[in-house]
Amino acid sequence: MKVPTILVPIAHGSESLETVCVVNVLRRAELEVTVASIESELTVTGTRGIRLTADRRFLDTGGQRFDMIVLPGGEKGSEALGRHAPLIERLQQQDDDRRWFAAICAAPALALAPHHLLDGRQATCHPAFRGRLPKFVDEPVVRDGHVVTSQGAGTALAFALKLAELLAGIEKSRAVAAQMVA
């Protein structure tokens, strides 16, 4: 059986807690996670000055198809992800193919919504950006079809466990939660 693949793009200003939480939980679920920097360097400075090191550069992921793309938040990082045309093209293709994509914190509002990737869908984000979503729902994690969104650093664990559930199954997600005493 093929192990699901996940792409986590990062940029300077990506929310460090959300990035690490998502990658950690999905790897605990034995999923194949690739962290890819949209910057020219592999190591970016995330929020709170925390350095995040990618597995490779986004441009080096080429035509590889991923089962899911997950955008971490952080206002500056989300803005950078939203300006990165190759990433937006890949997200639009992901949507066209009805493959999973997900975003947390500022990313739904600053990276997905401006490119109409949330049109007609219920979604959530950090409450400071709620007015930028077409259909804001005040819940920690919201799934609408093949799109999952979440509110912020405080909801990162619930978000990551939901992503693990969708890709690895409820039993695996529960096992990971139990290991983490979550």
Q: Does 125 qualify as catalytic in the annotation? A: no
* Neighbour count for residue 23 (Cβ, 10 Å): 22
CATH classification for the domain delimited by 5-103+156-174, as one of 3.90.245.10, 3.40.50.300, 3.40.50.1110, 3.40.50.880: 3.40.50.880
User: What is the Cα–Cα distance from 170 to 96, expressed in whole angstroms?
Assistant: 26
Q: pLDDT band for position 25 (50/70/90)? A: very high
pLDDT digits (tens, 9 = 90+) for 8-18: 999 999 999 99
Q: pLDDT band for position 175 (50/70/90)? A: very high
Query: SS3 for 76-115, per residue?
Result: HHHHHHHHCHHHHHHHHHHHHCCCEEEEECCHHHHHHHHH
pLDDT digits (tens, 9 = 90+) for 29-40: 999 999 999 999
Q: Could you say which of 22, 44, 52, 105 is catalytic?
A: 105
Full-model pTM: 0.98
Tell me the residue type at 141.
Answer: V
User: What is the Cα–Cα distance from 74 to 170, expressed in whole angstroms?
Assistant: 28
User: What is the Cα–Cα distance from 89 to 38, expressed in whole angstroms?
Assistant: 13
High-pLDDT (> 70) share of the chain, %: 100
High-pLDDT (> 90) share of the chain, %: 98
Residue 57 backbone dihedrals phi, psi, to 5 degrees: -80, 145
Residue 29 CA, distance from chain mean position: 16
